Every structure is written in C-alpha cells, then in structure tokens.
Structure 1
Amino acid sequence: MNSNDLITNVSKNSNDTAALIWSVADDLVGAYKPHEYGLVILPMTVIKRFHDCLLPTHQAVLDTYKKVEKLAVKDGFLKKASGYQFYNTSPFTFKTLLADPENIVDNFKAYLNGFSDNVQDILARMDFDSQIKHMSEAGLLYQVISDFCTDRGDFSPEKISAVDMGYVFENLVRRFSESYNEEAGAHFTSRDIIYLMSDLLVAGDDYAFTGDGISKTVYDMTMGTSQMLTCMEERLKQMDADADVTVFGQEFNPFTFGIAKADMLIRGGDPNNMQFGDTLSDDKFSGYKFDYIISNPPFGIPWKREEKEVEAEFKKGTAGRFAPGLPAKGDGQLLFMLNGLAKLKDDGQMAIIQNGSSLFNGDAGSGPSEIRRYLIENDWLDAIVQLPNNAFYNTGIATYIWLVMKNKPVTHQGKVQLIDASNCASSRRKNIGLKNVDITKACRDLIVKAYGAYVDETYKGIEENGNAIIVKSKVMDSVDLGYNKIVVETPQFDENGNVMMKKNKLMVDTSKRDTENVPLAEDIDAYFEREVIPYNPHAWVDKSKTKVGYEIPFTRTFYEYKKIEPSGVIAARIEEHEKGLMAKLHELFGGE
C-alpha cells in the first residue's frame, strides 16, 4: 500500500473502529459521567488488543505453562510460546468468560491476573482495578465484555495493523480529552505530517543509506501513544525494507503511556525503551544520545508544575539541559527544544514542531532569544518549514517544523533556510476535527525538493486532485537573524539649553531614553552616526546595556507587497457605483 493510501485509509479505519469502541459508552450512561468513559474504554481496548494478538497461540501457552509452572524462571519459555514479549496463562478467553455470567467478576480478574508482569504494569498505571469494582457494583461488567466481543470488535493484527491500531488509540484519547473539555495543548500528529518529518530527516542525512542501509535510534520526548515513533519506523522501512530502527520515548500521561507500552509489546520491541515520567522534571534518558529525534511537544502549556526541577537543572549550567536560558513560565515548548539538543548525537538530527511564538517571542537577552541564539550561533538550526493551517486535528494555528542538525554540510554552514509550505496541501473530503488538509506524496515531495536544493526559489506543482501547490524557499545568512539592541541616552539640558553635568558626567534624561535594534552584521557606531546623530546630535550609546537578540522574521521574509490601485482609478469606480445607485433610486421612486 502506498503512502497516500495509508494516509487516507488510516483516518477511515481509525474513525470507524474508534466509533464502534466508543459506542460502548452507551452502556456506561448513569454509572459513569461522560468525562469518565475513557477510564473504562481505553484499558478495555488495550486488553482486547492483547487478547486478540494472543488468541492464535493461547493453547500453546497453556501447554507450555503446564510444563514450566514449577520453574523459577519461566518468562522466556512463555514468551516464545506466545510469539510476543508478553503472554497470558489464564485458561479464559473473552468467549469463555461470557459463557459464565454468574462468575464474570472473579473469572475476569483471574483472566487479567494471568497476564505477564509487563502487562500488569500497564493496567496498574491505568488503575483498572477500581474500574472493575465500579462496573461490578453497577452490574455492567458482563455487558461491557460482551460489547468488546462482537465480530466488529476483532482487533487482531491481521485485521488492524500496529500503526492503524495506534491511530485508533489516538482517536479514543482525543475523544476522551474532548469530553474533559481540555485545552488542545497536546496536538495529535497525523501520519502525513510524520511522513514529511521523516522524509526531511532522511533528506538531510547524508549517511542514512550508507553501508548496509538505515540503522537508526529514534527518540520522542513527548510520545503520547507513540504514534510518531511507530509512523517514522513505518516510513523508514518503506524507504529501506531492511532498516534497523530502535525507538525510545517518554510520556507522563498514564493512559497514553500504557497504550505506547502496549504497542511496543505487541510489535516485539523492548518495552523498557518506553519510559513513564515528565520529561522536563524527570528525565528518564539522561546520558542517552540519539540519531534522530522527532517530536511534537505541547505549546502554550505552562511549566509551573516542573518549575523547581527545571530551575535546578538550569543552575547546573552546561552540565544540565537548560543552560542557555528559560522561556516564560506560560509556555514550555522551547524547553523541549533544549532537551532534544542535549540528546542529539554529534551527527544527529531533530525534527520538532513549534508554534509561531518560538520564532520571535522574547526581547534581546530574554530566555527565548537566548535559546534561539544558542541554536543559531552553534550553527545547528538548518531549516524551518511552515506547515499549512488546519493540518492538525485540534488546532488551526500556524505551526512549523524546525530541522536541527548537529553536523551541517559545508554548503549549509552559516545559513538557515526558511520554507513556506503553507500553500502545499491537498484538501480532505471529510474533516477530522479541525484537520481539513493532508500533506500528500506530491506535497511532501515538493517540500523535500525545496529543502534538498537549499536555495532561494519558488517551486510549483500539482497535487493528486489536480490543484496547484506552491513552496517558497529563502536561504538567509545566520548573522542576519541577530541584532544588537542598543540603549540610546540623551542628556538633560538646563533652561539656557546647556547640557547638565554631574561629577564630570552627562546627566541622563531618562524620559528620552530609547532603544534601537542594529543588525548584527552592521557596525554599531556607523549605524548610530547614520541613523541617530542627525536627529539627536547630543545622544550617545550606553554600551554597558547592549544586548544581543535573535528572532526569525518568517512572515516578513515571505511578505509580498501588493501594489495599491491609483487613487484616480478608485475614485472613478466609486463615481460609477454612485451613478448606478442613483439610477436605481430614481427608478424606485418614480424619477422624483
């Protein structure tokens, strides 16, 4: 199946399956409030997915268990029998559970207790025991298990791929979040955007296909249900069927973490690569370095909860992750940028999504400006791609992929490429939340082409539905993104117009204090003589207050001036309009 089919089909499959699962909520009405439905539905979906994966080898596991039951170490034998990194030694299946309604609670608990410890950990984090008790007391457990036991509720790998099941989970989590009426701080990332990020990472990696092919470690610091990781792995294996991809991720929501770990178990990876905890305050991958980092951290979300730990890490200086500076406490997205930088190998690359505030927020010397300065002066920022609006399920605002590279090719050094791909998308036939466009293969190829060329150019193409798409590229010298913010002082004057002195120093008139932003590539004194002295001959620069700032003028770079019509043409059109209006009035009132 090609990438466009996968992009299109996953939406339909995940929506249909998630709608079926969510219909279980009809049976929860009364016993649960709407925002509590996910407490049952998410764990039950995980359990049924495990169940359906294990069903073909169920008897083999039971037979093996009889042989090894008394052994001190039996995990290896049972995993081999199940064909997965997990197993269940209970004789029950969902169908046999339903055959004994009278004992459904005890039997279901016995079934869950048969799972291996790694599955028990997932269910414990989701606090599923308390939900079993709640459903039991409400007389709902038998019905809920029945709802998950229909033919349409078959979650076997043959029916639903790992990536598609991941999107089912994301769809459910999104519905769960919406029922809480949560802020859209966690933006679920669709397959088309992840494919674009993957292709951009590979396009910028001169060594991706050397030797025996792709062999990469990939890290997502805010992995959610781990869809960015599984999708990137899928994309790399489309490019190289023998690609060796090892993924790592961290997540602090117990439900989405449980889903991510479940997905890893089912796909046969190492579940220890999925870590639970808050990345900002409880880094589980300290000391690790990765080839690729791909992430869509929350933006517009305060980091007050992690304030103590983050500030302690900042005080470590270069021994910590946040040495360059701290952003305002209302938005922690640039902290994730710094975390990623700390975890990149010396030849590693990162694709990370940010909103517009990361481009320009913060004055010279502020935390955000210093973080940009750190990126740019180390020559690690390679490119920024503006995505089309409404590319995400739950936000329509402008978003950007920052491409960070620790070892830029010679032709990119000292430069930063800005790519405007806001008009490079294909309209969806049916929206998913706010998402009404897809970045299809034609769109993705055009964006990757622009990135690969790394020159000033406008690229035009046609997407799959026959509509025009356009990508604009502008390569800037890194130094042009910086400026010196200078403080201009003016002296006080007495009533005779003479400058006032105190201890042989000019007295400052603070009411006339001003600032100027001088391009970093320009000499401050020359700028001052040209731009300030002709208008304020007594002024001077207080060089002790000069600060370096960096911002990325994305909108200004791609602004196109549209010539205004001459006033005479506008006046003639107004006059013509007035004549037509008067004629209609005369006609209406009989020529009076």
Structure 2
Amino acid sequence: MTDIVSPGVTTTVEVPKSSDTTLAAFIWKNAEDLWGDFKHTDFGKIILPFTLLRRLECVLEPTRDVVRDAHAKFKDKGLDIDLILRQTARLPFYNTSQFSLATLGATRTKSNLDAYIAGFSDNARIIFEQFKFTETVAALARAEILFKICQNFSNTDLHPDVVPDRVMSNIYEHLIRRFGAEVNEAAEDFMTPRDVVHLATTLLLDPDDDLFRNNPGLIRTLYDPTCGTGGFLTDAMNHVDGFRAQDKVPPILIPYGQELEPETHAVALANMLLRRLETEPARDLSAHIAGPKSTLSKDDFAGKRFHYCLSNPPFGKKWEKDQAHVLREAKEQGFSGRFGAGTPRVSDGSMLFIQHLVDKLERPEQGGGRAAIILSGSPLFTGNAGQGETEIRRWLLEKDYIDAIVALPTDIFFRTGIGTYIWILSNKKPKERKGYVQLVDATAIHSPMRKSEGNKRRFINDEQIQQIARLYGDFQSGENVRVVNYRDFGYRRIKIQRPLRLVAKISIEGIEAFQASKAFAKLDEHEQTGWMSLVREHLGETHPYAWFDTLTIKAKKAGLSKIGRPLAAALEAALGVRAPNAPEVLDADGNCVPDKEVEDFEIVPLDQEIDEYMAAEVLPHAPDAWVDVNYTDDRDGQVGKVGYEINFNRYFYKYTPPRDLHEIDAELKAVEKEIAALLDEVAE
C-alpha cells in the first residue's frame, strides 16, 4: 500500500506488482500535483528522473548503511575509495549521503536533495545531469511542491523484488512514450516495441544458441548505435542469461551503445548501471553507453568491433546535421572508413547506419560478427543505378553481407503504420548461405492488440516469434520463405537511343521561336534583318533536313557571317519538326544522331545478355533502336549501369482473381435501390 498526496486529499492506493503500464500510470499520477505550476510538456522531465532516482534508491537500500560506514572509514586513507565502495555495495554505483527521499525534510528539501544527488557515484550522478535535474529541483522548490513530489515517490516501492528489471525497463519506455506524446514528438525516435525488440534479438542470437549452451562464462560484445533506453541491450543480455545452468556461469554480453537524446541516454545509463554480472557484481555496465551525441558524426567507438550489433535507427530521418562529417569521411577514408560504398540522399540516413554496422562487425578472422537492424521499406529499392542507395545495396550484396531480410506486419510500431523490415547482416555466413539472401514474409504473422497504442494495433506474441525464427533457421524456400541468389536482385540500366528524324517546316510559330532565341538576340541589327529575310522566303514550305545546310550556304553568300553552332542549333530547334518517315539525321562521320526526346532506359536482368534482351523486348517494337555503348558502369566499365533492388512483392505476390461480375452487378443494384429510397425520403 502507498499514499498518493493530492491537494487537500490523502488517498491510500495499492501499487500493482504485475502490470508495468498500470504502474507507469500510477507514477504518472504525480503529474496531478504539477498542474498549474508547470506546463504539461514539462511533466515527463520531472516524472522520469524521480522514477529513476527512486529505483536507484530501492536497489541501494540493503547496503546503504554499510556503504556509508565504509565511506566514513576509508575516505581519508588515500585508497581507491570508489573501488572500495562499489565492492561494499556489490553494485557498480553507490550513494554516501545520509539522505533518502523519505528523510529530506520539509524545510530544507532542496538543499538536502542536492546533497543527496551529490552523494551518488559519478556514473550515477551523470544520469541526473542529463536530465538537468538541478534545474528541475529548483523549479519545484520555487513552486513549493518539491517536498510533496519527494514524498510521493518515497512511498512508491520500486525494489527489484517487487518490480523486476524487465518490467522497470518497460515502465521507463511507457513514461517516455507518454512524455513524447505530450510534446507531440515521434515516439519511434525513443524506442522500439518490445515484441519487435525480442524478435530481432531472437533472430540475431538464436543461431549461436549452441555456442552459448556449450561455453559457460563465454564473453561476447554487443553494440547498439541508436540505443535509446537500452531495450535491445537488455533483451539480448536476458537472452544469454537464459543459458544459466546449475553450477555454471551464464554467458556474458558486454553492452556498448550510443544515444543522441539526453533523456533517453540517461535512462539507458540507468538501465545498464542497475544491471549486475553474477561473477563481477561491481562491474559498471554503463561505462560504454556513450552520448548524448550522433553516431554518424561523432562515433564514440571508432575502430572498435563487436560480435553482435542491434539497431533501430529513426525511419526516414534527415542526416543534414551530420552531412559535412559524413561526406568528409566518405571522401577522405573511402572503404577504410564507414561510408566507402556511398551516401544516400540527405532525407533518409538509414543506409548510413547499415554501413556503420557492417564496419562494426568483428573481423572474420576473429570469428566474425552478426547484426540485426530494423528499417523501413525505402532501403530495399530507393535510388536508380549508379546513385548512392543502389551503390550501397550493390556493395552489401556483392560482398555477401546480407544474410536475411524479414518483412514485418504493418501497424506494429507506436507512431507509424508503415511496412518495416529486419535485416540480418553477417560477415561469417555459413557455407550453405554464401551468395544467397533469405527473404522471409512475416507480414501475416501477428496478433491483434486488445487496446491500440497509437498506431500499434498488432503485436507478435512469443509463439509467433518462435515461428518466424524457425522459418529463418530452416533456410528452406516455401510459402513464406524465398532463398535467392543475390545476383537475382541485380540489373543493368542501359540507355536506348533512336535516330533523329527531322524535316524543316517553316511556319510563323517557328520563325517567332527562332527570333526569340538567345543566339538570334546576340546578332546585330543587320544580321537579324538578313536572317529574317532569308527564312521568310520559305514560309509555308517543308524541306528535308539537309535544307538547313543549304540555308547556311545561302546565308554566307548573302554576307551573313555570324553562323556559329549556337545559331544553327537555334534554327534547327525552331524550325525542325520530327517526322517518323523522314530519313535519319547523320553526323559528320555518317553516324546516326540520337533523338534526345525519345531517349529511354531499359532494365536488363544482370544474368541476361543485353543483345538477347534487345532482340526480345525492344527491337520488335522499335527496329531502329540501339544501345548507347558510351553509357557505362563506373565500377566495371561495361555497358549499362549496375543496380540492385530487393522487391518483396516480386517473390511473394499472390494473384487474387477478380470477383464475379454478376456478384458485383447485384451489389451495385442493391446500392442503387438504397440511394433511391433515401432520395424518396428526402423528397417527402
């Protein structure tokens, strides 16, 4: 039981122990005391750090007295007091203050709370610095409600025995999501739904289950470059904890992460700070959670590689703030840096994060690494051959880094209903997977939410997660799976030319167009008069293309000397008219001049000969067409630019026959009757 204090009323409320969303709502009720003194958009900045503070306090409670005694005993001995106190607390953090939220007092609450925060070890105190907690405390004190808020939280039991770590992590994210909704910010920038997190983690780690099972105490590294509140890191660490056996130490994942937003970075720090290793309880697992800074422009782990990587970068987010650094790194470092394969358009940085993760995979000679990254559909197909996105896909596929792509159901994220995909990347693919990409269609594998949360109307339950994991693990083509040779995604974009066929048609409109051209305007008055006289002589006539040369010769004889290429081009553009049956226009070497207006491009499958494609698909419709052999690929020098596109619909499209016409006709007639009846009612 606990007391909720509201203006003029004290109510005893039982804190639920099982429902994280209910407990989050309970904690949020403190916002009732903030109304009137604070904007609702500031509530989250107050509620969240107090929730974290209370959690830290509950975790430290069993050893707080012995830690305080040890601090008094050793603080002036010249010893490593930080190490001593962490070992005493059997935690990676501690607090040496005499205060707790319950003992701050009503008269000097602010100064006592400041002293309480100052008593935390550096790695815990930084959490409150991220929240600018000192400013928050000062604002609460000025509003004369600081003591009340402290009392509210002191009566909320957040001990791990009451609220397990996983539930506590859900509470943080629920509060952040509610906070994000209050300020109208996109919740997907903060977190990934738990079911999606668990699916991605399962797909990433399941292939190594035997490794974890047979190697107690195995140490591996785990990295999330957009770690948010640390959901991926927590779930992956829980996964390997499941291999705990009697009298055996479980495998260990050492977490690394980086986060851009200060508040979510603070929660990630707290999550990892509260995490304990059985073999080394004083080890600080928050030590490698970097931020708040952008991974793309300020990589805190440059040169570092990891066994596993997990990420859900923001969908469709611009990277213009990182642009200068990214372009400089791509130019100066090439493939020795992160972005050698290319850079996408600035409106979406998803494919920068893919390259970043590949760069972070442990080297193959050291056992290699695997990664799972959640993306929207755009990295599958955006960009034409030769452009940044396609070149990145080309590099990923030709280097054989893409192991599998899983299409997820729509409506499973909080603030977007778009289709999303989990990409599994690897630089240590087993022999049977080399050269292939596994496509898994999981769009129909989902369950309905009992209560929608924003756009999240569906979720993937544990049984369905295992079903998807089995589809991935079996590596067998079937109704929901295709195993595709990577070259099947490739093509050459060839340029098709057709001959220019022109006649000279001298019309009033054509003469006026010639007169309005820039080349004509540069002539002096004498030249202009002479040209108009020459052209008007042929008004209403139509001549073969060769007439333009005849006119030029005639102009020279008339003393018109300024006959450069710009003027000839202006004359041709104004008076030239395309005629399908006219002879081909030839250049000085006797070659066909291509008609730029009918220039076209064709997509030729990578494993099909261009001549074969032309004979089957182009020449039957345009016998005079030819391939522009000067339009070549920048990398292999061959005709046509190479591109890659991963089109799920191509592999999983299911034909649905149209409904019977009689059935449709019957429905239309029924609707017509309903409309007629309604009109009769209106007329009456």
Instruction: Using structure 1 for the length normalisation, give the TM-score.
Output: 0.89
Counterpart of 1:486, as a letter, is I
Query: More displaced, 281-290 or 535-544?
Result: 535-544
Aligned mates of 2:674, 2:83 — CA distance in 1: 92
Residue from 559, 580, 586 that aligns with 1:501: 586
Residue from 202, 205, 226 that aligns with 1:202: 205
Counterpart of 1:16, as a letter, is T
Residue from 167, 181, 186 that aligns with 1:183: 186
Please name the residue that 2:133 is paired with: 128
Q: Is the 8 A contact 2:176 2:190 kept in 1?
A: no
Residue from 318, 338, 348 that aligns with 1:331: 348
Q: Is the 8 A contact 1:351 1:402 kept in 2?
A: yes
Please name the residue that 2:94 is paired with: 87
Counterpart of 2:370, as a letter, is Q
What are the equivalent positions in structure 2 for 1:498-577 lying under 5 Å apart? Answer: 498-504=583-589, 505-545=591-631, 546-565=640-659, 570-571=661-662, 574=665
Query: More displaced, 323-332 or 182-191?
Result: 182-191
Aligned mates of 1:172, 1:327 — CA distance in 2: 34
Residue from 398, 415, 421 that aligns with 1:394: 415
The 1:573–1:433 alpha-carbon spacing in structure 2 relative to 1, beyond 3 Å, is closer
Residue 525 of structure 1: how far off its partner (Å): 1.9
The 1:261–1:184 alpha-carbon spacing in structure 2 relative to 1, beyond 3 Å, is closer
Residue 410 of structure 1: how far off its partner (Å): 1.6
Please name the residue that 2:483 is paired with: 475
Aligned mates of 1:456, 1:432 — CA distance in 2: 35
In the alignment, structure 1 residue 432 sits paired with structure 2 residue 453: yes
In the alignment, structure 1 residue 113 sits paired with structure 2 residue 118: yes
Q: Secondary structure at the match of 2:242?
A: helix
Larger radius of gyration: 2
The C-alpha deviation readout for 1:63-117, integer Å capped at 9, x for no partner, is 11121121333111111222211111111122211xx211111111111111111
Counterpart of 2:223, as a letter, is Y
What are the equivalent positions in structure 2 for 1:140-289 lying under 5 Å apart? Answer: 140-150=145-155, 153-186=156-189, 188-205=191-208, 208-209=211-212, 211-213=214-216, 215-240=219-244, 242-268=250-276, 269-276=284-291, 277-289=293-305
Q: Is the 8 A contact 1:389 1:397 kept in 2?
A: yes
Residue 270 of structure 1: how far off its partner (Å): 2.8
Please name the residue that 2:34 is paired with: 28
Aligned mates of 1:510, 1:11 — CA distance in 2: 72
Please name the residue that 2:540 is paired with: none
The 1:313–1:573 alpha-carbon spacing in structure 2 relative to 1, beyond 3 Å, is closer
Q: Secondary structure at the match of 1:457?
A: coil
The 1:184–1:508 alpha-carbon spacing in structure 2 relative to 1, beyond 3 Å, is farther
Residue 551 of structure 1: how far off its partner (Å): 0.8
Counterpart of 2:20, as a letter, is S
In the alignment, structure 1 residue 372 sits paired with structure 2 residue 393: yes
Aligned mates of 2:445, 2:304 — CA distance in 1: 36
Q: Is the 8 A contact 2:222 2:307 kept in 1?
A: yes
The 1:528–1:128 alpha-carbon spacing in structure 2 relative to 1, beyond 3 Å, is same
Residue 306 of structure 1: how far off its partner (Å): 1.0
Counterpart of 1:223, as a letter, is C
The 1:389–1:187 alpha-carbon spacing in structure 2 relative to 1, beyond 3 Å, is farther
Counterpart of 2:350, as a letter, is Q
Please name the residue that 1:45 is paired with: 51
Q: Is the 8 A contact 1:304 1:329 kept in 2?
A: yes
The 1:560–1:81 alpha-carbon spacing in structure 2 relative to 1, beyond 3 Å, is same
Q: Is the 8 A contact 1:484 1:517 kept in 2?
A: yes
Q: Is the 8 A contact 2:404 2:439 kept in 1?
A: yes
Aligned mates of 1:577, 1:108 — CA distance in 2: 72
The 1:174–1:356 alpha-carbon spacing in structure 2 relative to 1, beyond 3 Å, is same
Aligned mates of 2:663, 2:166 — CA distance in 1: 61
Residue 18 of structure 1: how far off its partner (Å): 1.4
The 1:485–1:206 alpha-carbon spacing in structure 2 relative to 1, beyond 3 Å, is farther
Please name the residue that 2:361 is paired with: 344
Residue 434 of structure 1: how far off its partner (Å): 2.8
Aligned residues: 559
The C-alpha deviation readout for 1:494-549, integer Å capped at 9, x for no partner, is 44522212231321210010000000111112211221122222221113322111
Residue 36 of structure 1: how far off its partner (Å): 1.1
Q: Is the 8 A contact 1:385 1:401 kept in 2?
A: yes
The C-alpha deviation readout for 1:273-328, integer Å capped at 9, x for no partner, is 11112101100111111111111111111111111111111112112101111111
Residue 394 of structure 1: how far off its partner (Å): 2.5
Q: Secondary structure at the match of 2:159?
A: coil
Aligned mates of 1:285, 1:349 — CA distance in 2: 17
The 1:126–1:456 alpha-carbon spacing in structure 2 relative to 1, beyond 3 Å, is same
Instruction: Using structure 2 for the length normalisation, give the TM-score.
Output: 0.78
Unaligned runs of 5+ in 2: 1-15, 277-283, 504-543, 545-581, 632-639
The C-alpha deviation readout for 1:94-153, integer Å capped at 9, x for no partner, is 2211xx211111111111111111122221222111111111111121111011122xx1
The C-alpha deviation readout for 1:471-513, integer Å capped at 9, x for no partner, is x111112111011001111121244522212231321210010
Aligned mates of 1:441, 1:197 — CA distance in 2: 12
The 1:580–1:138 alpha-carbon spacing in structure 2 relative to 1, beyond 3 Å, is closer
The 1:535–1:177 alpha-carbon spacing in structure 2 relative to 1, beyond 3 Å, is same
Aligned mates of 2:30, 2:664 — CA distance in 1: 63
Counterpart of 2:237, as a letter, is E
Please name the residue that 2:510 is paired with: none
The 1:501–1:144 alpha-carbon spacing in structure 2 relative to 1, beyond 3 Å, is same
Q: Is the 8 A contact 1:195 1:235 kept in 2?
A: no
Please name the residue that 1:3 is paired with: none
The 1:70–1:558 alpha-carbon spacing in structure 2 relative to 1, beyond 3 Å, is same
Q: Is the 8 A contact 1:484 1:548 kept in 2?
A: yes
Aligned mates of 1:108, 1:579 — CA distance in 2: 73
Counterpart of 1:447, as a letter, is I
Please name the residue that 1:78 is paired with: 85
Aligned mates of 1:68, 1:192 — CA distance in 2: 47
Q: Secondary structure at the match of 2:496?
A: strand
Please name the residue that 1:464 is paired with: none
Please name the residue that 1:5 is paired with: none
Residue from 63, 85, 96 that aligns with 2:103: 96
Across the aligned residues of Structure 1 and Structure 2, the Cα RMSD in angstroms comes to 2.4
Aligned mates of 2:163, 2:654 — CA distance in 1: 47
Aligned mates of 2:655, 2:22 — CA distance in 1: 46
What are the equivalent positions in structure 2 for 1:419-458 lying under 5 Å apart? Answer: 419-458=440-479
Please name the residue that 1:68 is paired with: 74
Residue 229 of structure 1: how far off its partner (Å): 0.5
Residue 210 of structure 1: how far off its partner (Å): 7.0
The 1:362–1:572 alpha-carbon spacing in structure 2 relative to 1, beyond 3 Å, is closer
Q: Is the 8 A contact 1:185 1:301 kept in 2?
A: no
Residue 577 of structure 1: how far off its partner (Å): 7.2
The C-alpha deviation readout for 1:221-260, integer Å capped at 9, x for no partner, is 1000101110111122224551221111111111111111
Please name the residue that 2:314 is paired with: 298
